[in-house]
Structure 1
Amino acid sequence: MHPNRKFHIEDREAMAALVRRTGFATLVVQTDEGLRAVHLPVLLQGDRLRFHVARGNRVHAALLAGAEAIVVVNGADTYVSPDWYGQPGRVPTWNYVAVEMNGRAAPLGREALIRLMDDLSAEHEEKLAPKTPWTRAKVDPALFEGLLKAITGFEIEVAEWRGTAKLDQDKPDEVRARLADAIAAAGWPEAAELVRSPANVTAVSTPVLPRVPRP
């Protein structure tokens, strides 16, 4: 989390909205081999964060033992060139939005794992409308059973939330407007809109703009 309080996200629901909208996270946990990270889809309901991990993953044993984990979800980000500020004495920096969550892992039983798998696919298939949603009914039951044997579901009751939105809020409006134009031209439309209007990061209904290829 950024040390400057100007960049802190204080709105708990805004942080949760970013997690739900993104749906993908990095989980870091202490294992017998040291710190290890795993990248995974997540589902957030209230303060309950659910996910699954391959049994062969190096974080599996630690999670199964109830280790505390930190989970990071990243939003929009962009490099910022000093030339874009139109001010002397600037240096390169990076603007970004991120949410960190802490909590202790607990394993899910078989039925809860199946619900997690169904909920994950339903959550993301809904975003593809008007496409007909994919469902587990399309998978051979034996294949699905094999998949279940290879993974373990977990949940974390989030005990601590931290959010950062470093979007040049400490700069004048005209400077942010100039930055936003340059960032958009460089191919980061979502980051550009947030720099233009930093308050939008706490507007939980703000849609994610499509990312265009970077030149």
Structure 2
Amino acid sequence: MGAMRQNPSFTLADPAEIKRIIRQNPWATIVTQTSEGLVASHYPVLVDESREELSIVTHVGRPDEQLHELGAHEIIVIFQGPHGYISPGWYDATPAVPTWNFVAVHLSGVPEILSDEENFRVLGQLVDHFEDPMPNPRRMEGTPENAEYAKRISSGTVGLRLTPTRVVAKSKMSQNRPAETVDRIVSELEGDGPYASAALAAEMRRVHDRMRAAR
């Protein structure tokens, strides 16, 4: 599991960039080949900032940990960043076919099941992470009532950490196109057409700015 056809031109190998993609796209798909067949779930995920190596933490609601048979099998966690249709009309006048630009990260390995205490701490980090931008953040333990409620519902979750043994990441952002074509694609994505995507345009700009700076 976890195969994603790799073109060396589009391989994403920088650990810092992979962590950025995860941070910016935390809603992940968890897939396991269990004794009963394939199982998939969707949960928010955080980079484990306490570790220098690439590692992620999350939780699943019961009984998903039983459905996935967590700890008994390898899992794959899939992150998808900005993506979108790229029309051949945005290329040169020469014959061309449409394509899809995207960024995706696949992390594979056998997860570590967290203790109840660490799971509660990770749940608090998840809440803080998503509440921090709010004008009046609601903390999991912001009041005694909140803390009591959080302790009660946390027993219905199982925390896990994945330090992947395999990482497959791909960033396909028209790296094989000349600069003027890339600029035209970005312009179309920033426009108001049916396939406009400000997020994809921003990701393309980031990738190509890094490429140009490295030359």
TM-score where L is the length of structure 2: 0.83
Between the aligned partners of 1:17 and 1:194, the Cα distance in structure 2 is: 11
Q: Does 1:100 align with 2:106?
A: yes
Q: Report the CA distance shift for 1:51/1:197 in structure 2 as closer, same or farther (over 3 A).
A: closer
CA distance in 1, matches of 2:59, 2:161: 8
Q: CA–CA distance in 2 between the matches of 1:145 and 1:197?
A: 41
Aligned residues: 199
Q: Which residue of structure 2 aligns with residue 206 of structure 1? A: none
- Stretches of structure 2 lacking an aligned partner (at least 5 in a row): none
Question: Quick one: which of 190, 194, 199 aligns to 1:190?
Answer: 199
Distance 1:11 1:27 in 2: 22
TM-score, with length taken from structure 1: 0.83
Equivalent runs, 1:116-135 vs 2, <5 Å: 116-126=122-132, 128=133, 131-135=135-139
The Cα shift of 1:158 comes to 1.8
Q: Secondary structure at the match of 1:97?
A: strand
1:22 corresponds in structure 2 to 25
Asked if the contact 2:39–2:68 (Cα under 8 Å) also holds between the matched residues in 1, the reply is no
Q: Give the aligned partner of residue 40 of structure 1.
A: 43
Deviation string, structure 1 residues 94-139 (Cα, Å, up to 9, x no partner): 100111111211211111111011111111222x15x132112345
* 1:178 maps to 2:184: yes
Secondary structure at the aligned position of 1:35 is classed as strand
How much does 1:48 deviate?
A: 2.5
1:73-84 superposed matches below 5 A: 73-84=79-90
What is the identity percentage for the equivalent residue pairs of Structure 1 and Structure 2? 27
- For the 8 Å contact 1:194–1:201, the answer to whether it is kept is no
| Shift in alpha-carbon separation, 1:175–1:198, aligned structure 2, 3 A | same
Q: Is the 8 A contact 2:58 2:161 kept in 1?
A: yes
Q: Which moved more, 1:90-99 or 1:146-155?
A: 146-155
More displaced 10-residue stretch of structure 1: 190-199 or 44-53: 190-199
Query: Judging changes above 3 Å, is the alpha-carbon distance between structure 1 residues 151 and 201 closer, same or farther for their aligned structure 2 residues?
Result: farther
CA RMSD of aligned residues (A): 2.1
| Deviates most, 135-144 or 17-26 | 135-144
Query: What is the Cα deviation at residue 33 of structure 1?
Result: 2.6
1:140 and 1:175 map into 2 onto residues whose CA distance is 53
Structure 2 CA distance for partners of 1:195 and 1:145, relative to 1, 3 Å: closer
> Structure 1 residue aligned with 2:9, among 1, 6, 13?
6
